Structure 1
Amino acid sequence: MVFGFGYDCVHDDYKVVRMVEFYGKDKSNLWRRIQDFPYYLWYRGRASGVFASGALHWVVSPKPESDKSRLIAAFDLADKEYRLVPQPDNYSLVNSHMSMVVLEGCLCLLCNYFSVHVDIWVMKEYGVMESWTKLFSVAQPTTIDKFKWVRPLAYSQSHEKVLMQQDNKRLLWYDLEKKTVDFIEIYGVESVTFADFYYQSLVWPRGRDGGKKQPAKDKVKKKKDKKKKKKR
C-alpha cells in the first residue's frame, strides 16, 4: 500500500491517492475507487507518490517483481488518468536503483549505481524527453565518503549549489561548478533522520470553523463580563 498527496489546481482541491496491490476484496468504503492501475509498484523505489506538474509519480514495472524494466508512471489529479512519463534516452538502469524527488518544481530522477556514483537528472520541461538534463553526478568515495544514497532537496539562492541529504545522517552543500562538498553542522543535532520542505496554508489546523470557536472557559468568562456590565 502506498500513498500520494497533491494539489489539484483545476478543481482547487487537495487530494490523497491510495494505491493497493491486494488479494481478495477491498472492504473499505471510505475511498472512491477509480480505474485500476495498469502497472506494478516498484517497492524498492520511493513509496510515497512524488508530486509535480499536477500529477503524482511512482517508479513502476510492467511485470511484478521485475528488475529489468522500470518506468515512471504519473496519475493526473485533475482528470484521474494514468500516463507514462518519458525517461532520458541516454542513461542506463543496469545495476542501479531508481527513485524520484522534486527539485524546485521539476521532476528529478535519481539513478544510484551502488558503491560507484549517483546520477541526478532534472526534467526542465515536464513531459518533454529532450528536456532531461543530467544535473550532476556524485562519485563515491572520492567526492563523498561511502554512502548508501543521497537526495537533493533545494538549490541555493545563487543556484550554484544544491542542498542534499546523505543517508539518514547529515546535510551537505554540493557545489555544481567546483564539484566539492561542504557538510552542514547543526548545533545540538547529531544526525538528520529525514529532511523535507513544507509550504504554508494548506488546511487550518483548528478545524472547519477556521478557529472561530472558542474554548468553553473563554465563553464562561465572556458571559460573566456581560453580567458585570449590566450591573454597572
Structure 2
Amino acid sequence: MALSHETPSHGGLVVIGSFRSKTWTVVHFPYRVSSVKSSPVVNENLHWFTSTESWSRFFARHQVIYFNPRKNIFRKLPMPLPKDGNGDILLGLGVLEGCLCMVRSCEHLTDRMDRVEVLVMKKYGIKESWTSMFILSNLPNLHIYDNVLPLFFTKNGEILMKIGKNCVRAYNPNDNSQRDIRIPAYSPYFYAAVYEESLASPIDYN
C-alpha cells in the first residue's frame, strides 16, 4: 500500500505500509512534482508518473518513476519514444499479465481528447521493450485530467479499463470493438482495483 503527500515545488513524502509485517516507512519523494498518480506494483517496485512542470500538472509532460522498498531508493523508468518528440502526457499506469503498461494521449495539448494509446513494457526496465498494444478512439467525454486505468484481461480476451470518473469499458483487440460495462449502483465517481483471491482484504480506497 502507498500513500503520497506532495508539494508542487519541493517534492514530498511517501508513506509505504506493509499489511503482513504491519510496518510503515516514510520516505522523501525526491522530485519536483505537481502530480503523482497511480501506483501499480511490478518487479516488487511501486510506480507513479510525475509531471515536473509547475504551470499545469495536467498538460505537462510526464516521467514514470519507481520506488524500490528493499533498497529504499527512487529511480526513473526508461520511457518509450515520445509521439511528438517532446514527451508524453500520461493518463494512467496499470499491470497486464504481469507487465507494466501505460496509457498516453495521442492528441495535441487540448482539454478534451478522442484517442489514447496503450503500451506495455514486455521486459521490465528495458526501454526498447515498450510495445504499442492498441489505440482507443471515439472515447466519450474524456478529459485530459481523467485517468485511464488498464485493469485486466477477461476470459474471452477483452481488456477491461476504467475510463474517467465513472466508466468501465471492455476492448476486444481481435476485432477492435468496444463496449461499456454497466455499473449496477451509479455513482458520480468510483474506484477500481484488481484483486486476487487471498486471505488479505482489498485496499479500501474510499
Q: Structures share a fold, TM > 0.5?
A: yes
**Residue 195 to residue 18, structure 1, CA distance change in 2 (3 Å):** closer
Contact 2:171 2:179 survives alignment (8 Å): yes
Select the residue among 163, 166, 169 that pairs with 1:169: 166
Deviations 1:143-194 (A, max 9, x none): x434335432111224x321122323332221112111122235x4345722
Select the residue among 108, 117, 120 that pairs with 1:119: 117
Amino acid at match of 2:154: S
Aligned to 2:97: 104
Task: Name the count of aligned residue pairs.
Answer: 176
Stretches of structure 2 lacking an aligned partner (at least 5 in a row): 14-22, 202-206
- Counterpart CA distance in 2 for 1:17 and 1:189 is 27
- Counterpart CA distance in 2 for 1:129 and 1:84 is 11
Select the residue among 81, 88, 100 that pairs with 2:80: 88
- Counterpart CA distance in 2 for 1:162 and 1:138 is 11
Please list, as runs of the form range in 1=range in 2, the aligned pairs for 1:61-210 lying within 5 A after superposition.
61-62=51-52, 64-65=54-55, 68-92=60-84, 96-112=89-105, 113=107, 114-140=112-138, 144-148=139-143, 149=146, 150-158=148-156, 160-186=157-183, 188-190=184-186, 193-199=190-196, 200-202=198-200
Asked which structure has the greater RCO (Cα within 8 Å, sep 6+), the reply is 2
Which of the pair is proportionally richer in helix? 1
Stretches of structure 1 lacking an aligned partner (at least 5 in a row): 6-15, 204-232
Contact 2:101 2:119 survives alignment (8 Å): yes
Which of the pair is proportionally richer in strand? 2
Aligned to 2:17: none
Higher alpha-carbon Rg: 1
Contact 1:53 1:126 survives alignment (8 Å): yes
> Identity over the aligned pairs, expressed in percent?
24
Amino acid at match of 2:142: F
Amino acid at match of 2:195: Y
- Counterpart CA distance in 2 for 1:166 and 1:62 is 24
Amino acid at match of 1:145: P
**Residue 162 to residue 88, structure 1, CA distance change in 2 (3 Å):** same
Structure 1 residue 132, shift from structure 2 partner:
0.6
Structure 1 stretch displaced more, 190-199 or 89-98: 89-98
- Counterpart CA distance in 2 for 1:170 and 1:98 is 15
Amino acid at match of 1:147: L
Contact 2:118 2:133 survives alignment (8 Å): yes
Select the residue among 49, 58, 70 that pairs with 2:48: 58
Q: TM-score, normalised by structure 1?
A: 0.62
Structure 1 residue 138, shift from structure 2 partner:
0.8
Q: TM-score, normalised by structure 2?
A: 0.69
**Residue 196 to residue 59, structure 1, CA distance change in 2 (3 Å):** same
CA-based RMSD of the aligned residues comes to 3.2
Contact 1:39 1:63 survives alignment (8 Å): no
- Counterpart CA distance in 1 for 2:128 and 2:179 is 32
Amino acid at match of 1:195: A
